[in-house]
Chains A and B, each alone.
Chain A
Amino acid sequence: MASNNFFLVPQITADEKYFDVSLAEIVRAVLTPAGKFDMTEEHQTKDEYNVDLRVIIRLNVNCQSKVPEGWTIALKLHNERIDGVDWESEFTAADGSTGNGWHRHEWNQRAQSAKHTKIPSPDFDGIEGREPFLIRALSTMRIKLNARDYGDQLSIPKKDSA
C-alpha cells in the first residue's frame, strides 16, 4: 500500500544515495537546450528500529540558465524536495538571520517540507561551471554516481559509402 515515508527523510539525507548514472551523463543532459536531468532510483534505508525499507527517490537538476544563480539541484521523495541547493539574492536563514546567495534546503519534519529551512552554503560562491556545481552539490547531498561513463562507447553507425 502507498505510504507516507517522510518520517525516513533524516535517515535518507544522512545515507549515501546511489544513482546509476555517470557525472558526464548528467553534464551532457544539462548542456542540452532543455538543461534538465531527471532520474528515479529505489533506495534502501533503515527506520529507527533498524528495519530495512525501500523508497523511491528522485534526483532533479536544472542548469538551463546561462547564469549559475539560476541553477538548482533537488533530491525528492514523493515528488517533494527533501534536500537541495539553490541561490537567492536574499533569504531568511534557518537561524533567523538574513542570508545572501547559495544555500541548502534542509528538511523540516514538522512542516514536512524543505522549502523554508535554508542553510547558507558559501562553498558554492564563485562557482562558474556546471560540472563543479554538480560535483559540489552531489557531495554535499551525499549522492554517489556510477564512476563509469558508457557514453563514449556509443556512436552512430556510419553509412556505407558504396
Chain B
Amino acid sequence: MGTNCQFLKKTLLEFLGNAIDVTETRDYCVLTLPQKTIDDRLASVFVQEKMPGFFLVDDGGKTAAELFAQGIHVTDLKLAALEELAERYGATFVQGTFRIGCHTEKLNAAIVSIGQCATLATWYVLGHKPRFEEEPVLHRIEAGMRAWQAPYENEIRSRVRMLGQKMEHVMDFVSFPRNGHEDRRVEQVINKLDSRLPICVKAVRPSDNPLEQARGYGFMAYDLAKTQFETWPRVAVVTRADEWTQSAMDLVYASASIVVPIETGEEEKLEKLLPERLSEVA
C-alpha cells in the first residue's frame, strides 16, 4: 500500500496551524513556532510593520540573551559564526538580534528564516559545562595581608575606592602605613616626611576573556595616572594563571608593580606567598 502524500501534507499543515501561536504586544506580533531550540524553548519571532507593506522580522534579541543567561558569552569567534549563520538565512546579526527587513511577499519566508536562526544559534549550549575551577581568593588575600610583617605599622582596608580621571576604581585591599601619633598635625608632618606609600592589592580573574580582563586592569592603571594614586604600588593577584594568554599576562605585568600569578588549585599558597611579595614593594 502506497503512502498517502496528500494526507501527510494535510495533517502536517493542521499540526503547524495548531502549533503556531500568535500574541499581539504593543505595536508588534510575537509568533511562537513549533520548532524547539536546542535549549528546549519554542522559537519566538517578532514581527513589526514599520510602514505599510514593509516588515521588520527579528528574534527580539532573545537568542543572544538566552545564551548569555545560560553562561555562553559571545566571544569574537562566536560572533563571527552567528553573523555567518544569519547571512546563510538572508538575515543579519547586529547588536545581538537576528533580523530581516522585507516586503509582504517575503514575510513568511523571513519568519521561517528567523525561526531557523533562533533555533540553530542555540547550538552552543551543547558544549556548555559548569566551570568548577574558580576559587574564592579574597579571604586568602586578606589573610596573607594580615599575616604580613610590614616594616611599619599598617592598617588594612578592604574595597577602597579610587577616583581616576574618567572612572572610579575599587581596590580589593589597601595597606595604609600608620604612625599612630595622637596629634593629627604631627602625624601629617611625619606623613609628609615619610615616603612610605599605601600598597594596593587587587585580584584579577580571567573570567571568559583574559585579555579583556587585562585591558580592564591596564585601563585602571592608565586612568589612575596623574592622580594621587599614581605612585601607590599595585599588586595584581592573577588567579587561574594557567588559563591566561601570554599577551594578556604581559599587559598585567606592564600595569602592576608586582604580579602574583596563582595557578588553578594552588590558591592555598597565596597566604604564604603574598607576604613575601608585599615585602618587595614596601
Contact = CB atoms under 8 A, between A and B. Distances in A.
Interface in A6-48: 6, 20, 33, 35-36, 38, 40, 42
Given A35-B95, A40-B207, A72 B170 contact: no
Residue from the set B40, B68, B137, B138 with the largest chain A CB neighbour count within 10 Å:
B68
Given A20-B159, A153-B163, A72 B65 contact: yes
B95 A69 contact: no
Given A79-B131, A84-B69, A150 B168 contact: yes
A1 B21 contact: no
A51 interface: no
B265 interface: yes
A36 B95 CA distance: 11
**Chain B at the A interface: mostly helix, strand, loop or mixed?**
loop
Contact of A73 (B32, B69, B205): B69
Interface string A37-81: 010101000000000001110001010111101111110101111
A100 B69 CA distance: 19
Interface in B149-201: 159, 161, 163, 165-168, 170
B64 interface: yes
Given A33-B95, A42-B139, A78-B134, A70 B60 contact: yes
Given A73-B69, A89-B32, 15 more contacts: A6-B130, A42-B137, A54-B136, A60-B69, A64-B65, A65-B62, A70-B62, A74-B69, A76-B71, A79-B71, A87-B62, A88-B42, A89-B21, A89-B44, A156-B166
12 contacts: A2-B264, A6-B130, A36-B68, A40-B207, A62-B65, A62-B68, A65-B62, A67-B26, A86-B65, A86-B66, A153-B168, A154-B166
Interface of B: 21, 23, 25-26, 28, 30, 32, 39-42, 44, 46, 59-62, 64-66, 68-71, 73, 95-97, 130-139, 159, 161, 163, 165-168, 170, 205, 207, 264-265
